[in-house]
Amino acid sequence: EIVLTQSPGTLSLSPGERATLSCRASQSVSSSYLAWYRQKPGQAPRLLIYGASSRAAGIPDRFSGSGSGTDFTLTISRLEPEDFAVYYCQQYDTSPPFAFGPGTKVDVK
């Protein structure tokens, strides 16, 4: 079973700054079956990135994903007010259950 770790646990930044979030898998995630979600308080998660680097429909281009194998990155080029939230990575390799990472909280510095 693949285990995901995310770092840092909390990222304190200002609006307009660049955010770099990391997700590491305990074993290789084949075909880059790795997704990223953003969750605001009181809301369901929203899909941002799938296939490690493909932006979901309606997601602005300030969000980008990269990586392969065991190391993946979500980059937000310029933080907007709505981006201060919690971000989760998820692997969907092989068959369920699919692991989520523990999350990275991006808060206002």
Partner 1 sequence: EVQLVESGGGLVQPGGSLRLSCSASGFTFSDYAMHWVRQAPGKGLEYVSAISSNGGGTYYADSVKGRFTISRDNSKNTLYLQMSSLRAEDTAVYYCVKSSLTTVTTFFRYWGQGTLVTVSS
Q: Tokens at residue 7, please?
A: 């770092």
The site map against partner 1 for 67-106 (x = CB under 8 A) is: -------------------x-x-x-xxxxxxxxxxxx---
The stretch near partner 1 (CB under 8 A) out of 18-26, 33-41, 62-70, 73-81 is 33-41
> Of the candidates 23, 25, 35, 76, which one interacts with partner 1 according to CB under 8 A?
35
Q: Nearest distance from residue 47's CB to partner 1, in Å?
A: 5
Q: Which amino acid is present at 102?
A: P
The stretch near partner 1 (CB under 8 A) out of 10-18, 47-55, 63-71, 77-85 is 47-55
DSSP assignment of 50-97 = ETTTEEPTT--TTEEEEEEEEEEEEEESS--GGG-SEEEEEE--SSSP
Asked if 9 is part of the footprint of partner 1 (rule: CB under 8 A), the reply reads no
* Closer by beta carbon to partner 1, 15 or else 27: 27
Residues with Cβ within 8 Å of 105's Cβ and at least 6 positions away in sequence, in order, are: 9, 10, 11, 85, 86, 87
